[in-house]
Amino acid sequence: MDESRSRTPHPRLVVVGSGMAATRLVEELVARGAHERMAITVLGEEDTAPYNRILLSAVLEGTHRPEALTLRTVRWYAAHGVDLRLGARVLGVDRERKDVMLVDGTLVEYDVLVLATGSIPTLPPIRGLVRREGSLHDAVHAFRSAADCRRLLAALPSSRRAVVVGGGLLGLQVARALGVRGVATEVVEGADHLLHRQIDAPAARILTRELKRLGVAVYAGARAVRLVDGPSGPAMRLDNGFTLDTDLVVLTAGGRPSTALARGAGLEVRRGIVVDDRLASVTDPSVHALGDCAEHDGRTTGHVSPAWDQAGVLAGILCAENATYDGSRVVARLRASDLHVAVLGEPAVEVAAGGEVVEIANPVAGSHRSLVVRDGRIVAATLVGDLSRVGLITQHFDRRTVLGPHEPGGLLLPERAGRAAGALLPDDAEVCACAGVTAGRIRACASLEQARETTRATTGCGGCAGTVRRLLARDEAGHPALATIQKGT
């Protein structure tokens, strides 16, 4: 089935993928009026309207309804003349003919192609996960898409026990969500402690204890090696001799950039699709890539804030602005009730690069906070158990503020003891790291809805929602209330 090859009056932009990066790109293009100057087509494999993937664990936990995750409705795309096609998996790209082929054989021509294909979950080497005929064992679930989330939710009523394979941020969110749903959950992590890429062993011990208090058991330093079907149902064997009886296995052992299309098209791919500072493939300037699938300056990211930064830059480039991308700083938050973790930058990398560690731990109170400081600047941080200072620390991290020798230690003190205790957040303090929104911009909004719509604050990881609400709170006379950043917001 060939679509018409006749040229439209407008240049044709085809975006493959309808995830978080693609959605932000289209929003940025629409904000620049580009939808009136180009024919934009978005081809998304999933059948759900573009949604906030990072809140899927909140749906699993039951704090958000699935509909609340929708980023933009199908109607919004139609209203802006953007041709959104859902359930449209792209099978191949022909760079000579400049078209892409959908799974049903349809060809879609482009002048400029954007690959925003995200990442795919890693299948850990566990025997028995995949049946002989190639399908996953019925008890095994991935957790990447709305469809995965629906399938897992459907399995909950008949499940009492779960094993989560992978003790990273996603694994802990899923484990906590299952625990909240009343499923006895055990986390298996092959490295010697949880969140081993982000936090050190003492901080992980505190986190492990918190999880145990919340009813989630952790097996760290143990690998899941075999899923067997026993007389009482499935059981996961670990390499330390333990066998965990279970009804569900959730795989959260990481992912890798989805690059098959780019490889097939002959584009340069290392870990991700290699792009330059204009987010163009180094092989073909008419093909761009952004988000989890892209590799810029030797790095792939796997977080939403770089994907959104890239979307803003790429929209500018496609609108002939003089924009370039020079990397992003990442702030990752654990999203789960009663578990407070924030990681800024890459602590291990910065320590290896000569950063000095300033830290305060209080295992009795369940908190561990550390900053990595280089040349007076905070270059990374990990906060476990107490996020009362995350706002100020993030502000200094983002702005690369040069601090005096005693200031990093002061920032780690609990808020009531710190110098800024009770201080009003200044207008230029960044409140939403995902969307780069300051307190002043939130204060200028009349309602949460307006703040969401005009600034996009709270629509990423949602970690800023409490602070945003307080910033918008009005006293009885209608004056803005004071807002400080509080624990766990």
Ligand X SMILES: Cc1cc2nc3c(=O)[nH]c(=O)nc-3n(C[C@H](O)[C@H](O)[C@H](O)COP(=O)(O)OP(=O)(O)OC[C@H]3O[C@@H](n4cnc5c(N)ncnc54)[C@H](O)[C@@H]3O)c2cc1C
Binding site for ligand X (CB under 6 A): 16-22, 43-46, 53-54, 56-57, 89-90, 116-118, 143-144, 170, 258, 261, 291-293, 302-305, 307, 332-333, 335, 461
Closer residue to ligand X in complex, CB, 371/461: 461
Shortest distance, position 112 Cβ to ligand X, whole Å: 17
Shortest distance, position 276 Cβ to ligand X, whole Å: 18
Strand, coil or helix: 317: helix
Amino acid at 32: R
Shortest distance, position 333 Cβ to ligand X, whole Å: 6
What does the alpha-carbon distance between residue 7 and residue 148 come to, in Å, rounded to a whole number? 39
Query: Are residues 419 and 410 in contact, defined by beta-carbon separation less than 8 angstroms?
Result: yes
Cα-Cα-Cα-Cα torsion 118, 124, 125, 130, nearest 10 degrees, comes to -80
Closer residue to ligand X in complex, CB, 303/369: 303
Closer residue to ligand X in complex, CB, 57/394: 57
Shortest distance, position 302 Cβ to ligand X, whole Å: 5
Task: Scan for tokens 């109170």, then name that residue.
Answer: 365
Chain-centroid distance of CA 123 in Å reads 19
Name the nearest CA neighbour of 53 among 165, 142, 151, 143. 143
Ranked by CB distance to ligand X, the top (closest) residue is: 19
What does the alpha-carbon distance between residue 154 and residue 60 come to, in Å, rounded to a whole number? 10
Name the nearest CA neighbour of 198 among 358, 361, 372. 372
Query: Are residues 325 and 297 in contact, defined by beta-carbon separation less than 8 angstroms?
Result: no
Across 385-406, b (16+ Cβ under 10 Å) vs e yields bbbbbbbbbbbbbbeeeebeee
Closer residue to ligand X in complex, CB, 281/305: 305
Closer residue to ligand X in complex, CB, 93/483: 93
What does the alpha-carbon distance between residue 172 and residue 253 come to, in Å, rounded to a whole number? 11
Closer residue to ligand X in complex, CB, 273/317: 273
| Stretch (H or E) spanning 71 | none
Shortest distance, position 51 Cβ to ligand X, whole Å: 9
Query: What number of residues does the chain have?
Result: 489
Closer residue to ligand X in complex, CB, 170/227: 170
Shortest distance, position 460 Cβ to ligand X, whole Å: 7
Shortest distance, position 463 Cβ to ligand X, whole Å: 8
